[in-house]
Structure 1
Amino acid sequence: MSALRTLRQLTATSTRAFAARQVSTVSRRVLPTLGARVSAPQNIRTLSVSARRLGEGATDLALSQKLQEELKYEKESEQSHPPDFLTAFQAQGVWEIQDVLGNDEVTLTRKFGNENVRLMFSIADIQAEEEDFASNESESDADSEGEDDPLNSYPIRASLSITKTTAPGCLNVDMVCQEGHFVVENVSFYNDAKLGTDLTAESDWKRRGTYIGPQFDTLDIGVQEEFEKFLQERGVNEHVALFIPEYAEYKEQNEYVKWLGNVKAFVDQ
């Protein structure tokens, strides 16, 4: 959820509290009169039908209505076309985006000579950061004194794998994407390309038992610099580092809307 949605929820809570006091006052004055006009058996029969339509719980209807309100708000805020940053990224024709609705991981793939390059990142990292942003918003505003915070400054972990069609093995690079830059943490090599690229639990377990290489920042400065140039040449650059946080937010919003619809449909059955 975005910080704007969190702020809207806080405002809605205050409004609901005020409205509840008004309803309580009106209810004490009006309900006795209404009760005299409507017989008890009719009232009970109406509530029973509503409960059966929305499952067995007495709270199903209220939850369904709140989910519908949130779903309506989010859909009204949706763009009818892909955002400009996504259109511009795809127009370059360098990376192919593999994104499955319902999964929290996104994969970027490309060819570079005889190499297959795969860059993966997850939207899970941005969820905790949004919660921290919402709770610390007042403090941040007081400290900023008119200065803008860096756009998309929260870190997102990314994993790069490079394999070759003419040679065995796989080169894996663990990185953090933040503020338009990739920070390399470590570089590992696997003799078996399948072991280095397979996403199964079995392969992940096997990788944990292999040597993953030294921490990148402990390498000779010259080696670090040349390796960074190696990544830049393969398109792992500032442009992609700026794209990843934007796309992560875009995907998280789409996943949230889908989640609302799925939960509401389940409650209504």
Structure 2
Amino acid sequence: MTTFRILRSLAASTSRTASTRAFTRSIHVPRLGSQLTPRTLAPASRWFSASARVMGDGSTDLALTQKLTEELKYEQEANTETGEPEFLTAFKKRGVWEVESIDGSDEVALTRKFGNESVRVIFSISDLQNDPEQEDFDGAEGEEGEADIPQSYPVRCSISVTKEAGAGALTFDAMVQEGVFVIENISFYADGKLGTEMTAEADWKRRGLYIGPQFETLDVGVQEEFIRYLQERGVNDDLALFIPELLEHKEQKEYVKWLGKVKGFVDA
């Protein structure tokens, strides 16, 4: 979930709580352990029985679909941009990287050719949803009553470099944060396919292999040359700034689609 939606949820918490209480009173739901009386239950039973014929057997279906409809409408109205966003169009026009994003998938890949090499950077929108900075965000307000918005989104990336001649694969485990790539580990796989495949079988085979030293334990000179190596292949600060922006765009699209699909299921 993006920071924008988190802030909106926090800002609306009071009103939503009030509306929830009002909804509860309107259907006369008793507290656990309280005595149920025919006078209390009759209005709720009639109200729910009418909706059950349309939307299934659940007594909560109507309330849920109303909330989903409200959320979907809000998201659609808040996002006035139609078509591809400008930042993504400008990125593609450079002709350096190709963007691979499949609808319904939480992963995004950037690929390019560099001489006889293939370079691929893979990352996931789940990192935005599990951002520890967002989890620690308790709705603290600034001096003007506005919430303090986190300014960066740590995103875990897998960078792979393979050669056409089948000479293996060099892979980098890295984090993108505050506009830079922070390399954590570098691995080499003699079998290039093993080093780049994202299957469960390949992952199982990789577990028994030596994954290489922690990047920070390498000689400083070696670290600097690896950084230059990646920068020459386009894995640089510009790309590190682009990735979180692309992920927010991707997450927003998937969230709106998710709302529509779930609402359709509840309504069926």
Code of the aligned partner of 1:132: E
Could you say what secondary structure the match of 1:210 adopts? coil
1:95 maps to 97
Code of the aligned partner of 1:81: G
Cα separation, 1, equivalents of 2:74 and 2:229: 45
Cα separation, 2, equivalents of 1:116 and 1:24: 58
Larger radius of gyration: 1
4+ residue segments displaced more than 6 Å: 20-28
Could you say what secondary structure the match of 1:82 adopts? coil
Which segments of 5 or more consecutive residues in structure 2 lack a partner in the other structure?
Answer: 29-41
Answer yes or no: is the 8 Å Cα contact 1:3–1:133 preserved in 2.
no
Cα separation, 2, equivalents of 1:157 and 1:250: 17
Which segments of 5 or more consecutive residues in structure 1 lack a partner in the other structure?
Answer: 29-39
1:209 maps to 208
Could you say what secondary structure the match of 1:51 adopts? helix
Distance 1:133 1:250, change over 3 A: farther
Greater helix share, structure number: 1
Matching of residues 10-159 of structure 1 within 5 Å: 10-18=10-18, 44=46, 47-78=48-79, 79-129=81-131, 131-132=134-135, 134-138=137-141, 141=142, 151=151, 153-159=152-158
How far apart are 1:236 and its partner, in Å? Answer: 0.3
Distance 1:62 1:149, change over 3 A: closer
CA RMSD, Structure 1 to Structure 2 (Å):
2.9
Code of the aligned partner of 1:112: F
Answer yes or no: is the 8 Å Cα contact 2:117–2:161 preserved in 1.
yes
Instruction: Percent identity, please.
Output: 57
Q: Which moved more, 1:252-261 or 1:17-26?
A: 17-26
Answer yes or no: is the 8 Å Cα contact 1:175–1:184 preserved in 2.
yes
Cα separation, 2, equivalents of 1:4 and 1:219: 39
TM-score by length of 2: 0.83
1:188 aligns with 2:187: yes
Code of the aligned partner of 2:212: G
Code of the aligned partner of 1:177: V
Code of the aligned partner of 2:135: D
Code of the aligned partner of 2:244: P
TM-score by length of 1: 0.83
1:34 maps to none
Could you say what secondary structure the match of 1:137 adopts? coil
How far apart are 1:258 and its partner, in Å? Answer: 1.1
1:36 maps to none
Cα separation, 1, equivalents of 2:19 and 2:166: 69
Answer yes or no: is the 8 Å Cα contact 2:155–2:176 preserved in 1.
yes
How far apart are 1:21 and its partner, in Å? Answer: 7.2
How far apart are 1:24 and its partner, in Å? Answer: 9.2
Could you say what secondary structure the match of 1:135 adopts? coil
Q: Which moved more, 1:93-102 or 1:5-14?
A: 5-14
Cα separation, 1, equivalents of 2:69 and 2:149: 34
1:33 maps to none
